[in-house]
Structure 1
Amino acid sequence: MDPFERVPLGGTGVTVTRLGMGLAPIGGLFTPVGDADAIGAVEAAWRHGVRFFDTAPLYGSGLSERRAGAALRGRDGFTLATKVGRRLVPGADPEQEIWTEPSGTAPAWDFSADGVRAQHRESLERLGLDRVDVLHLHDPDDHFEEALHGAAPALAELRKAGVIGAVSAGMNQSAMLTAFARTGLFDCFLLAGRYTLLDQSGLGDLLPECRRRGISVICGGVYNSGILADPGLNGTYDYQAAPPEIRARARAIAEVCARHDVPLRAAALQFPLGHPAVASVVIGMRSAAEVADAVAMAAVEIPGGLWHDLIRTGLLDAAVPVPGA
Structure 2
Amino acid sequence: MSGMARRTLGSGGVEVSELSFGAAGLGNLYTPVTDAEAAAAVDAAWEAGLRYFDTAPHYGIGLSERRLGEALRARPRQTYALSTKAGRLLEEAGEGSVGDDLAHGFAVPATHRRVWDFSADGIRRSLEASLTRLGLDRVDVVYLHDPDDHAEQAFREGYPALERLRSEGVVGAIGAGMNQTAMLTRFLRDTDVDAVLCAGRYTLLDQSALAELLPAAQEHGKAVVIGGVFNSGLLADPRPGATYDYTRAPGALLDRARRLKAMAERHGTTLRAAALAFPLAHPAVATVLVGARSDREVRDAATQFAAAVPGGFWQEARAEGLLPAGAPVPVPVPVPVPGEEHA
Query: What TM-score range do you get, normalising by the shorter chain?
Result: over 0.9
Structure 2 residue ranges without an equivalent (≥5)? 333-343
Q: How does 1:66-85 map to 2 (within 5 A)?
A: 66-76=66-76, 77-85=79-87
Q: Give how far 1:197 is off.
A: 0.4
Query: What are the Cα deviations for residues 88-110 of structure 1, in whole angstroms up to 9, with x where unaligned?
Result: 00025638341002262221110
Q: How does 1:158-237 map to 2 (within 5 A)?
A: 158-237=165-244
Task: Compare 53-62 and 231-240 and name the one that shifted more.
Answer: 231-240
- Letter in structure 2 aligned against 1:297: Q
Query: Equivalent residue for 1:31?
Result: 31
Query: Equivalent residue for 2:339?
Result: none
> Is the 8 Å Cα contact of residues 102 and 108 (structure 2) preserved in structure 1?
no
Q: How does the TM-score come out when normalised to structure 2?
A: 0.92
In 2, Cα distance between equivalents of 1:105 and 1:127: 17
> Is the 8 Å Cα contact of residues 62 and 103 (structure 1) preserved in structure 2?
no
Structure 1 residue ranges without an equivalent (≥5)? none
Query: Equivalent residue for 2:22?
Result: 22
Q: Give how far 1:49 is off.
A: 1.3
Q: Give how far 1:74 is off.
A: 2.7
In 2, Cα distance between equivalents of 1:209 and 1:172: 17
Query: What are the Cα deviations for residues 101-146 of structure 1, in whole angstroms up to 9, with x where unaligned?
Result: 2262221110000000111111000000001000000000000000
In 1, Cα distance between equivalents of 2:117 and 2:142: 14
Q: Give how far 1:36 is off.
A: 1.8
In 2, Cα distance between equivalents of 1:205 and 1:95: 34
**Identity of matched residues, %:** 53
Query: What are the Cα deviations for residues 252-308 of structure 1, in whole angstroms up to 9, with x where unaligned?
Result: 111110110111001001100110000000000000000100100100111111101
The answer on 1:252 being equivalent to 2:254 is: no
Q: How does 1:298-313 map to 2 (within 5 A)?
A: 298-313=305-320
> Is the 8 Å Cα contact of residues 3 and 298 (structure 1) preserved in structure 2?
no
> Is the 8 Å Cα contact of residues 123 and 162 (structure 2) preserved in structure 1?
yes
Q: Give how far 1:78 is off.
A: 0.7
Query: What are the Cα deviations for residues 43-79 of structure 1, in whole angstroms up to 9, with x where unaligned?
Result: 1211221110000000000000000000111312010
Structure 1 moving runs of 4+ over 4 Å: none
> Is the 8 Å Cα contact of residues 116 and 151 (structure 1) preserved in structure 2?
yes
Q: How many positions carry a matched residue from both structures?
A: 324
Q: Give how far 1:183 is off.
A: 1.8
Q: How does the TM-score come out when normalised to structure 1?
A: 0.97
- Which has the larger Rg? 2
- Letter in structure 2 aligned against 1:10: G
